[in-house]
Homo-oligomer: A and B are copies of this chain.
C-alpha cells in the first residue's frame, strides 16, 4: 500500500477550498496536510475560520487543523490553489519558485504562454509544457491550471465533436449557479425571482480558455483552436450546476447519431488509474427536457458533463444543452484530476 501524498490547500476557506476538503476525504492518493487562507484566518482552527457551506459534515480532523500563513515555508510540495486572481498572481509563482507543484483553479495564469491549461480528458498532453517553466528548471516547482467552471461542460462536450468533425463556430449562452460566485457571493436580493444577465469577465474567459483547451501543442506553446466563439453569461437561482445552451458549426457534416456516438465513445482516460476520472465523462440523455442541474449535476460523482437536446440549429449546424457541476467538475474536481494525471505521468 502506497503512502498518500500530502497536499496543501491555498484558499482553503473558500467555496472551492471546501470542495477540495470534501472530495479529498478518503482520496486514495492524496491527503490534506496543510491549509492556508487569508491573514484573517491564519492561526485559527479551520473549523472556526471557515464558514462551512457544504452538505457534507466538516471532518473533525480538518476542523481541528490550524490555518497556516500563506507562505511556502512549511507547506507541502503539492499545492491545490483556488484564490482570487490578484492574490494568485503573487502567491502561485512564490510557491512554484519554492519547488512546489502548484495545481491551480485560479484564473491568474490560465492564459500565460508557458502555463498549461488542462482538463485531462481534453488535452493532457499540454502538461508537458511545465518542463520548460523557469520554476521547474530552478527548483522543480511548476504551475498547472484548470479552466473556468463555465468552460468545463462545453469543452468536454465539444472535444469529441472537434476530434471527429472539426469545429468552426460556437455559440454559448450560460445559466450559472450561485456557488460559482463563492461565499457570500451573490446577494439573495439579486437572485430570488430574478436573473442577472452579467458575470464580470466570464464571457471573455469562456471565449479564450475554450480555444486554448482545444488548441494544439506546437513546440512549447499552445496554438489555440482557430474557431470563433460568442459567449453570453447569466446567473440564475440554482445552487450548483452550470447549464449552457451551445450551437456549433462543424468543419465536416455529422448526423445526430454520429455526434451522440462520438459522445458515448469518448473515454480518453479509460484504463488509466485516475480515481476522479468519470467512467463516461460526457453522458448523453435522450429525454426532451434534460439535462437539469438538480437532477443531473451529480452524475459521475459530479465529474461528468451531461448533454441533451441535440437538434439542428437554423444558423450553425447543431445545438444542444450541456450541464456540469461547477464546483466539482468545474473547479475542485478538475484540480484533483489534474493532480492525479500529473502523478500518473510521474511529475508529482
Q: Nearest chain B CB to A224's CB is how many angstroms away?
A: 13
By a CB distance below 8 angstroms, the chain B residues around A297 are 55
**Contact A54 B295, beta carbon cutoff 8 Å:** yes
- Known contacts A175-B234, A237-B236, A237-B237; is-contact A189 B193 (Cβ 8 Å): no
> Are the C-beta atoms of A189 and B178 separated by less than 8 Å?
yes
The CA of A293 and the CA of B194, in the complex, are separated in Å by 5
CB atoms of B236 and A236 under 8 A apart:
yes
Q: For window 158-198 of chain A, which residues contact chain B by CB distance below 8 Å?
A: 169, 171, 173, 175, 178-179, 183-198
Residues of B within 8 A of A193 (CB): 192-193, 237-239, 293-294
Interface contact A195-B238, CB-CB below 8 Å: yes
Q: How many copies of the chain does the oligomer comprise?
A: 4
Q: Mark A44-65, 1 if CB is under 8 A from B, else 0.
A: 0000000001111100000000
Residues of B within 8 A of A175 (CB): 175, 195, 234, 236
Alpha-carbon gap, A300 to B178, bound state (A): 27
Chain A: residues with Cβ within 8 Å of the partner, total of 62
Q: Decide: A247 and B171 in contact? CB cutoff 8 A.
A: yes
List, in ascending order, chain B residues with CB within 8 A of A267's CB.
none
Q: Which interface residue of A56, A228, A238, A292 has the most chain B CB atoms within 10 A? A: A292
- The reply on A245 being an interface residue by CB < 8 A is yes
What B residues does A293 contact at CB under 8 A? 193-195
Given A198-B288, A294-B55, decide whether A315 and B229 contact each other with a Cβ distance below 8 A.
yes
A47 to chain B, nearest CB (A): 10
* Contact partners of A229 in chain B: CB under 8 A: 314-315
Asked whether A178 and B195 contact (CB < 8 A) given A55-B294, A187-B184, A237-B237, the answer is no
Q: List 26 A-B contacts (CB under 8 A).
A: A15-B189, A173-B173, A173-B232, A173-B245, A175-B175, A183-B187, A183-B189, A188-B190, A188-B192, A190-B292, A192-B238, A192-B294, A193-B293, A194-B294, A194-B295, A195-B238, A197-B291, A197-B309, A197-B321, A198-B309, A207-B314, A230-B319, A234-B245, A237-B237, A237-B238, A239-B294
Add 8 more A-B contacts to A188-B191, A232-B245 (CB < 8 A): A178-B192, A186-B187, A192-B238, A194-B238, A194-B294, A194-B295, A197-B290, A230-B247
**Chain A interface residues toward B at CB < 8 A:** 15, 53-57, 169, 171, 173, 175, 178-179, 183-198, 200, 207, 228-230, 232, 234, 236-239, 243, 245, 247, 288-299, 308-309, 313-316, 319, 321
